Each structure stands twice: as structure tokens, then as C-alpha cells.
């Protein structure tokens, strides 16, 4: 996936997220021509997160290394787009499937700490967050512990996303 496609996606958030953040992330992408999918780049990697609601509750997973509640998410692989990665990761981590369409609602630069277990240095993820819609009622086997949380029980970082479910 070419960086100009990623830049266009980020620019599509104009009016929804701070313009300063959009400009910063676009400049970051323009400053590199390296492949960001997969894990080859030791400094900056693409990731994608899934925001999926059920009865005004948002799906979270317990991250196995960071030991904190996070959105279902993971690396964008070489053969996929960030949206495809969000759908795949939601299924792998929660056991549920989601429609393969979704709206980009946010992009964030996340500092990832060193992981000595996996021998990975500290690095950053450019994380594309998509609102997805669950398609099945019963999950397949989930990779990680899953929680459905109300706004007041969710980590503060994610509480603003509950505005998407109003109406």
C-alpha cells in the first residue's frame, strides 16, 4: 500500500480530528518511503484497531504483553490494507466476525515499549482505527480474553469513541 493512499485516508478525517494531528501524521508518512506493513521496519509499523459496539458496549481485549485493556488490533500484514487488518484482528482476537466495510474514525501514533519476550525494540505504530459491525451472534474461539465495557468502565483513552454509538 503506497504512502499516498494512507495520507489520503488520514486527510479524510479533516473536521473529525485535530488538523494538527492530521498534518503531523501526513508529514511522518511523507518523510519515509520504507515499507510499514509487517514488522520489517524496526522504528515505525502500521497497525489497525477495531471499534465494535454491542448494546452500547465496546469490545476490548486484554493485551498479553502490556497487560492492559485495548481495542482488538494488530499489525497490517504485507498483503492487506489497514481495514482488512482491523477485520482480521477483530476475528482472531475476539472470535467474532465483522463486516468487511467500516469507517476510519481515527489515526494515532502509539509508542510501543520494548518487548524482551519477543526480542522487539521499542518502536511506534501508526494505528488506523475503524468502526466495524459484528456479523455473528456466537464467537468462534478467541485468542485473547475479551470484555464488553460500558463507557464508564473503559480506559479513559477510549471513552470518547462512545459518542459514535449515540443516536
Virtual torsion, Cα 135, 137, 142, 148, nearest 10 deg? 90
Q: What is the mean pLDDT of residues 68-92?
A: 96
Query: 162 pLDDT exceeds 90?
Result: yes
State yes or no: pLDDT of 36 exceeds 70: yes
Give the per-residue pLDDT at 21: 97
Averaged pLDDT for residues 10-23? 96
pLDDT at 71: 97
> What average pLDDT does the segment 139-160 reach?
92
CA distance 99 to 87: 7
Give the dihedral sign, CA 66/135/77/125. Answer: negative
Q: Which domains are assigned to the chain? A: 3-165 (3.90.79.10)
- Coil, strand, or helix at residue 56? coil
Helix, strand, or coil here: 133?
Answer: coil
Amino acid at each position: 500500500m503506497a504512502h499516498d493512499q494512507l495520507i489520503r485516508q488520514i486527510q479524510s478525517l479533516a473536521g473529525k480530528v485535530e488538523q494538527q494531528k492530521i498534518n503531523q501524521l501526513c508529514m511522518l508518512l511523507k518523510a519515509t518511503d520504507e515499507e510499514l506493513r509487517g514488522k520489517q521496519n524496526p522504528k515505525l509499523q502500521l497497525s489497525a484497531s477495531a471499534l465494535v459496539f454491542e448494546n452500547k458496549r465496546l469490545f476490548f481485549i486484554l493485551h498479553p504483553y502490556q497487560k492492559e485493556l485495548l481495542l482488538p488490533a494488530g499489525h497490517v500484514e504485507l498483503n492487506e490494507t489497514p481495514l482488512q487488518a482491523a477485520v482480521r484482528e477483530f476475528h482472531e482476537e475476539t472470535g467474532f466476525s465483522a463486516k468487511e466495510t467500516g469507517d476510519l474514525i481515527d489515526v494515532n501514533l502509539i509508542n510501543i515499549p520494548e518487548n524482551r519476550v519477543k526480542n522487539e525494540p521499542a518502536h511506534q505504530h501508526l494505528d488506523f482505527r475503524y468502526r466495524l459491525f459484528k456479523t455473528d451472534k456466537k464467537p468462534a474461539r478467541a485468542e485473547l480474553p475479551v470484555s464488553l465495557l460500558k463507557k464508564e468502565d473503559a480506559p479513559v483513552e477510549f471513552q470518547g469513541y462512545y459518542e459514535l454509538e449515540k443516536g
